[in-house]
Each structure stands twice: as C-alpha cells, then as structure tokens.
C-alpha cells in the first residue's frame, strides 16, 4: 500500500495568541511548533495501515525550511519518505495556491514511483482552518474524497470510512486511489521510540520547489475577537467551599 500524508507545521500557542506587528501572522517569537493535530492522527493511521498491509508512508508538507522539523518528527513515528515544498515567503500560501502546489508535487511523485493508493489530509489545519485543500487536490486528481473521517477499514482496494454525525455514524466506501480528510480521535498517535528517534536523524528529506500562482484569497489582517472580561468570584480555597459550590448549582437550577 502506497500512502501519502499531507501535514502542516503550525505554532503551538498557550493561553493567548499574539499577532505580529504587521498584523499578517501569528507572532511566533516565543512559541514552539507542532504538526496540526488532525494530520498527526492521519500520520498515525498511515503508520498503522502499512504495519498491517505493508508499504510506504510518504509525508509531504508545504512550508518554510523549518518545517523539516515536522517531517523529522514524522520519521520518528512511522513515516518512510519525506518531501518539503518550500514556501519561504514568511507566511502561509492561500488555499488554492497550497492545493495547486501539492497537486503538482503528487503528480511528480506518482510519475516517479507510482500512484498513491491513499492520500490523507487533516480535516482542516489548526491555524488557518480553510476546510478545502484536500478537496481541491482530490478534485484536481479526479479522486474520491470524504472529510471528517474517524475510522478507516481496508478490504482489498476498498476503504470503508466512517464519519461521526450528531445522530450516529455515516459510512462511505471509496475505491483506491482515494483521498480522505481525517479527524483527531481516529486513533491515539504514538510517541517516538528510541528507534524512531534514530530514524528521524537519518531521514532524507527531498526538497521539491514548485512554481505556483497566488489564488483569489488575500489576507488583509489578523485580529482578535472581542474578549469577554470576567470578574472571578472565588468561592473558597479549600474543600470547605463545597457548600458554596452546591449553593451555586442550586441557584442555576441544576441540582
């Protein structure tokens, strides 16, 4: 099974997200970075798939040179091949441009080494949350795609994919080659092992520069939604506060 997972490097802010002085990006001066959570799960799913069925997991990202960090992490948790599409513009590409670059990269990778049976994206990126890159790539490649997937079973060349809705689960069946948008919760991603850390050091990262035009969505500025200022009523500093807590529950009518 040849699997491709597309991941995004995103900042990992704590209690507040600060905005850069030019208002175009998140101020990452004091932040670490991580792989967007849905994609981390997509990668885990891919690793489990090749453990069961054999094959390779290619991990691809479009991002700054530093996104190598996320590809190396991927190497420590089951990725086998790594591709970086450099974008050193200092900010994200718009969704059309990102999708276009990824599509071109996939075409090149497939021309060299054969078709991917399964391509996985995260349902949406944690930061920009555009909800479209995977769909655009799938449409460009004329492959089936379903988003919001929280369960995948493989039978022959058919992927049975499950999506949670309010009332239960929707079941889809996609024939390879297929594309899936995966959600956090589909699995519990593993932590790197010693062996994984070694693989991470040795991983070779292919750099795939791609020329793409900007799409139609132009960022003007980032800003913060109005914040609600709350006066915190401290009910107590020990277990003795229980009586006041229960008074509160009673007042709210939930007792």
Partner 1 sequence: MMGEILVFVEHDQGQLSPSAGEALTAARELGERLSQKTAAVLVGQAAEGLGTMCAEYGVQLAYCLTSPVLSDYGPETWGQAIVELANQCSPSVILSVGTDRGNEVLAQVAARLGAPFAANSTVVQRGDAWEITRVQWGGSLLEDIVVDSELLIASYNHHSIEPAFFPGDNEIEVRTVGVELDPTLGRTVIRDRVTLTEGVTLSTASVVVSGGRGVGSADGFAQLEELADLLGGRVGCSRAVTNNGWRSHADQVGQTGTRIAPEIYIACGISGAIQHWVGAMASKNILAINTDREANMVTKAGYAVIADLHEVIPAVIEEVKRRRS
Ligand X SMILES: Cc1cc2nc3c(=O)[nH]c(=O)nc-3n(C[C@H](O)[C@H](O)[C@H](O)COP(=O)(O)OP(=O)(O)OC[C@H]3O[C@@H](n4cnc5c(N)ncnc54)[C@H](O)[C@@H]3O)c2cc1C
Cα 212 to Cα 214: distance, rounded to the nearest angstrom: 7
**155 binding partner (options ligand X, partner 1, none; Cβ < 5 to 8 Å by kind):** none
End-to-end CA distance of the chain: 55
Look at residue 34 and give the partner it binds from partner 1, ligand X, none, a contact being a CB closer than 5 to 8 Å depending on partner kind. Answer: ligand X
Residue number of the CB closest to ligand X reads 126
Least CB distance to ligand X at residue 42 (A): 14
Q: Rounded to an integer, what distance in angstroms lies between the CA atom of residue 80 and that of residue 180?
A: 20
Distance CA 1, CA 55 (A): 5
Considering beta carbons, is residue 37 or 151 the nearer one to ligand X? 37
Which x/- pattern, by CB under 8 A, does the window 85-114 give for partner 1? ---------xxx--x---------------
Q: Least separation, in Å, of the C-beta of 108 and ligand X?
A: 30
Q: Which stretch binds partner 1 (CB under 8 A): 9-17, 54-62, 78-86, 202-210?
A: 9-17
Restricting to residues 171-230, which ones interact with partner 1 according to CB under 8 A?
A: 171-175, 183-185, 188, 215-225, 228, 230
- SS3 of 32, please? strand
Residue number, 207 or 242, with CB nearest to partner 1: 242
- Pattern 124-163, binding to partner 1, x per CB under 8 A? x-xxxxxxx--xx-xxx---xxxxx-----------x-xx
Instruction: Compare residues 129 and 209 and give the one whose CB is closer to ligand X.
Output: 129
- The closest alpha carbon to 84, from 17, 141, 8, belongs to 8
Q: Look up residue 181 and give its two tokens.
A: 């948008």
Shortest Cβ 40–ligand X spacing (Å): 9
* Burial class for 69, CB neighbours closer than 10 Å (0-12, 13-18, 19+): middle
Binding partner of residue 158 among partner 1, ligand X, none, CB under 5 to 8 Å per kind? none
What minimum distance in Å lies between the beta carbon of 85 and partner 1?
Answer: 19
Residue of 172, 102, 112, 114 whose CA lies nearest to 139? 102
CB of 207 to partner 1, least distance (A): 27
Output the smallest distance, CB 161 to ligand X, in A: 22
- At residue 47's C-alpha, the angle toward residues 118 and 72, to 5°, is 105
* Residue 25, CA distances (Å) to 9, 68, 97, 114, 126 in order: 14, 20, 18, 37, 14
């Amino acid at each position: 099974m040849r699997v491709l997972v597309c991941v995004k490097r995103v900042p990992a802010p704590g209690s507040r997200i600060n905005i850069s002085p030019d208002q175009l990006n998140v101020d990452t001066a004091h932040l670490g970075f991580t792989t967007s959570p849905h994609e981390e799960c997509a990668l885990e799913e891919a690793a489990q798939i090749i453990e069961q069925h054999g094959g390779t997991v290619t991990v691809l990202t479009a991002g700054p040179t530093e996104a190598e960090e996320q590809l190396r992490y991927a190497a420590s948790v089951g990725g086998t091949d790594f591709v970086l599409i450099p974008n050193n513009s200092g900010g994200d590409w718009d969704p059309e441009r990102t999708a276009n670059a990824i599509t071109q990269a996939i075409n090149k990778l497939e021309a060299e080494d054969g078709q991917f049976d399964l391509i996985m994206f995260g349902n949406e990126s944690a930061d920009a949350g555009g909800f479209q890159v995977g769909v655009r790539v799938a449409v460009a490649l004329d492959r089936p795609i379903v988003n919001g997937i929280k369960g995948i079973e493989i039978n022959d060349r058919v992927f049975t994919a499950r999506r949670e809705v309010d009332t239960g689960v929707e079941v889809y069946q996609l024939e390879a080659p297929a594309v899936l948008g995966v959600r956090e919760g589909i699995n519990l991603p593993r932590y790197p092992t010693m062996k994984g850390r070694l693989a991470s050091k040795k991983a070779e990262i292919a750099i795939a520069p791609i020329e793409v035009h900007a799409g139609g969505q132009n960022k003007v500025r980032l800003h913060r939604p109005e914040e609600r200022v709350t006066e915190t009523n401290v009910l107590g500093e020990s277990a003795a506060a229980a009586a006041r807590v229960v008074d509160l529950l009673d007042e709210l009518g939930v007792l």
